[in-house]
A and B are shown apart, each in its own frame.
Chain A
Amino acid sequence: MLAVENLSVVRNGRHILDSVSLTAEGGQILLIAGHNGAGKSTLLKTIFGELSPSRGTVRGAETGSTFYLPQGRTVFPSLTVSEHQRLYRSLVPVSERPDTRLPDAVLPDLAPAGGLSGGERQWLAASRLNVGRPRLILIDELTTGLSPAWRKRMLENLRDATDASGAPTLLVEHNVRDAVAIADRLLILRQGRLVLDTAAAPLRQDTARLEEILLL
């Protein structure tokens, strides 16, 4: 379980996170949405430990067992697709490697990552999700730059990975309409504050309510 209590982050005089508290059970996907600059990425970075909070605590995010996918499609330009996969596997203890294949069939094995398109790099960076059994999954934008068909596949892959690992998952995502299909809860951040935390399942049918929430 992940427990975040009263988390605040102040940077350069800007209050980026303001007393955020949340808990996530194992196997749950929390979809986190909100305006640009609302503090979504800062929340993940602080939980991961990349940023120090000005106040508050995070429990359940032990170093080494957390899968964190930052924004920005971080791949190694000179390594090929299959070299990335070997690298990803080598970073995980043998005992924690599942037998499943990566969702990579769409990318040419021998292509250097530097020659891939933006969406393809995003796919490759996110495919690291299928290696190992993380105890916490933090994802900053899974589907940015992906075509509609790939968006759906990547989101379903995250659902499977969360179920398989039993890890709590925090998914920051702007494509809320797509992501609500695989999420357990929807949380909205606004100017650094958590202003909504609600069950996702009812929103799959109640699209009018979902549109209202997206205006928050």
Chain B
Amino acid sequence: MSGRTIELKNVAVRLGGVDALLDVSAAFDVGVVAIIGPNGSGKTTVLNVLSGLVRLSRGSASILGKNLSTIPAHQIARMGIARTFQTSRILEWTDIRENVAAALSRTDLGGNGPSEAYRLAEASLTAVGLESLAGVRASTLSFGERKLVELARVHVRKPFIALLDEPVSGLHPSKFPIVADVISQVAARGGLVILVEHDYEFVREVAGQVVALSAGRLVGSGAPAEVLNDRAVLASFGGA
């Protein structure tokens, strides 16, 4: 294995005639990276690039030295990468234990069967504080509870790379430490977490590096205290 965990070189993405990313270059090793920026600045698009969900119009993106354009999205997931979405995507018709167990791939299970999957799922539901709802049908959950189920789906896979899109938005502040714990567990295993977040207090608390995007360009990168206090960066966000 050579090179950085994730490397973006001059990445440009055009979506529906709009430039979502323009010439973004960045590299990440391990730890916790937060992407901040105004609405529509390209934050989620970076996560979509890393999940193989959008095509680059220019530049290259690689994970562990492998060029992403050569790997289909489902195989990217098998490389130990897990992600959440802003609006949760869970299976409505099953209970939440099943929802979490279903996130485990055969590789994740390493030859173990369903009973091991359920045991791991229950441990992850405990980690996000939803153990009492394990048997509840997902369709009856609230928005915030669904986000925690998604987080459990990431937690259960013990991913090497976790991509989290606004993990605390829509959550009660009492749940923030749960999210911070899941994040730090990935980092503590020597992994990389990339999160998109508008809550700067949370970012200060969990991130070791902050990357600022504005109108599809990288406008700042560094320690949280540096970037979040950088007047030029905040000025580039304008009234947005």
**Bound Cα distance A95, B145 (Å):** 42
Q: Given that A12-B136, A119-B40, A148-B200 are known contacts, is A114 also in contact with B16, CB under 8 Å in the complex? A: yes
- B114 beta carbon closer than 8 Å to chain A: no
Contact B171 A147 (CB under 8 A): no
Q: Does A146 contact B40, Cβ atoms closer than 8 Å? A: no
Interface residues of A, CB < 8 Å — how many? 41
Contacts of B175 in A (CB 8 A): 35-36
Q: Which residue of A lies closest to B200 (CB)?
A: A148
Cβ of A145 < 8 Å from any Cβ of B? yes
Q: Closest chain B residue to A111 by CB distance?
A: B18
Shortest CB–CB separation between residue A73 and chain B, in angstroms? 7
Q: Is B240 close to A, CB under 8 A?
A: yes
When the two chains form their complex, are residues A118 and B38 in contact, meaning their CB atoms are under 8 A apart? no
Which residues, 18 to 67 on A, are CB-close (under 8 Å) to B? 33-38, 40-42
- Whether a CB of chain B sits under 8 angstroms from the CB of A98 is no
Q: Interface 1/0s, chain B 206-240, versus A by CB < 8 A? A: 00000000000000000000000000000001111
Does A145 contact B140, Cβ atoms closer than 8 Å?
no
Which residues of B sit under 8 angstroms from A174, Cβ to Cβ?
A: 144, 169-173
| A146-B170 contact in complex given A12-B136, A14-B136, A108-B18, C-beta closer than 8 Å | no
Tell me the minimal C-beta distance from B53 to chain A in angstroms: 14
Asked if A184 CB lies within 8 Å of chain B CBs, one says no
Per the bound structure, the CA–CA distance linking A123 and B198 in Å amounts to: 15
> Are B143's CB and A71's CB within 8 A?
yes
Which residues of chain B come closer than 8 Å to A144, judged between CB atoms? Answer: 169-170
Interface presence of A166 (CB below 8 A): no
With A and B bound together, what is the CA distance between A117 and B158 in angstroms?
Answer: 28
Q: Compute the total of residue contacts between A and B using a CB distance below 8 Å.
A: 104
Q: Mark A123-166, 1 if CB is under 8 A from B, else 0.
A: 10000000000000000010011111111010000000000000
Which B residues lie within 8 Å of A108 (CB)?
18
* Measured CA separation A34–B165 after assembly (Å): 22
Chain B residue contacts of A202, Cβ below 8 A: none
A14 touches B87 (CB 8 A): no
Q: Which residues of the other chain, A, contact B169 by a CB distance below 8 angstroms?
A: 144-145, 174
CB pair A117–B170 under 8 Å, yes or no, is no
If A111-B16, A118-B44 touch, whether A149 touches B38 (CB-CB below 8 Å) is yes
Known: A118-B87, A150-B240. A37 touches B170 (CB 8 A): no
B5 interfacial contact with A, CB 8 Å: no
Neighbouring A residues of B43 by C-beta, 8 Å: 117
Is B22 engaged at the interface, CB distance under 8 Å to the other chain? no
User: In angstroms, how far is the closest chain A Cβ from the Cβ of B174?
Assistant: 6
Q: Are A37 and B141 in contact (CB under 8 A)?
A: yes
Interface hub of A37, A41, A146, A149 (most chain B Cβ within 10 A): A37
- Does B71 reach chain A (CB closer than 8 Å)? no
B60 interface residue per 8 A CB criterion: no
B158-178 toward A: CB 8 Å interface, digit per residue (1/0)? Answer: 000000011001111111000
Does A11 count as interface, using CB distance less than 8 angstroms? yes
- Is A215 located at the chain interface by the 8 A CB criterion? yes
Specify which of B143, B165, B173, B200 lies most central, judged by the most chain A CB atoms within 10 Å of its CB: B143
CA distance A208 to B145 in the complex (A): 28
B18 touches A37 (CB 8 A): no
Q: Is B112 part of the binding interface, using a Cβ–Cβ cutoff of 8 Å?
A: no
Q: How far is the CB of A124 from chain B (nearest CB, A)?
A: 11
Known: A111-B18, A117-B44. A145 touches B200 (CB 8 A): no
**Distance between A215 CB and nearest chain B CB, rounded to angstroms:** 7
Residues 27-78 of B contacting A (Cβ, < 8 Å): 37-41, 43-45
The reply to whether B174 and A35 contact each other, CB–CB distance below 8 Å, is yes
CA distance A171 to B15 in the complex (A): 34
Decide if A214 is an interface residue (CB 8 Å cutoff).
Answer: yes
Can you list 9 residue pairs at the A/B interface with Cβ under 8 Å? Answer: A14-B140, A41-B143, A71-B143, A118-B165, A145-B86, A147-B37, A147-B39, A149-B238, A150-B39
